[in-house]
Amino acid sequence: MFHHPRTATYYKSLVCLLGDSAHASLPNQAAGAGQGLEDALILSRVLNAAYTRLAEPVAPPAASRVLHAAFEAYDGVRRPRAQRQVDTSVECGLLYNLSHPEAGDDMQKTVDNLNRRFDWLWDHDLDEDAELAVRRFDEIVQRPV
């Protein structure tokens, strides 16, 4: 089993990471593939915003700046949520193995923890995240150089 506990950024220059290359996690929450799909959704929305902005001819440095803004917006929205999933998947494994620091081998504490643990993960508004990423992109690309 392998996970990648911390990734400082999901992009550098014109390279952008998503899915397991950005945030490999243990399988304890069965959420890794879903996180990759969330990445793809958010990245596709900001890249669409970048494409729209670049619809008129621009000099290559401006195009590069627009792509950097798209990647920065994607990173700002996706990294905190995806990294949380990596962390909570480790915690979930501790629960399954009855070695969680708070629940230990107390089955009722384990069950109670598991029953409330997944709401943030499964009941999340991805459209809101996509809109936030596009707003951040617009703010970033409009910053003075």
DSSP per residue, 75-128: HHHHHHHHHHHHHHHHHHHHHHTT-BTTTBT-HHHHHHHHHHHSHHHHS--HHH
Q: What per-residue confidence (pLDDT) applies to 6?
A: 84
Q: What per-residue confidence (pLDDT) applies to 39?
A: 98
Which amino acid belongs to residue 11?
Answer: Y
Residue 106's pLDDT band, with cuts at 50, 70 and 90, is: very high
CA distance 7 to 24: 10
pLDDT 10s digits, 80-93: 999 999 999 999 99
What residues does 100 pair with on adjacent strands? 104
pLDDT 10s digits, 31-55: 999 999 999 999 999 999 999 988 8
pLDDT 10s digits, 96-105: 999 999 999 9
Q: What is the pTM of this model?
A: 0.90
Between helices 32-53 and 126-142, what is the axis angle to 10°?
Answer: 40
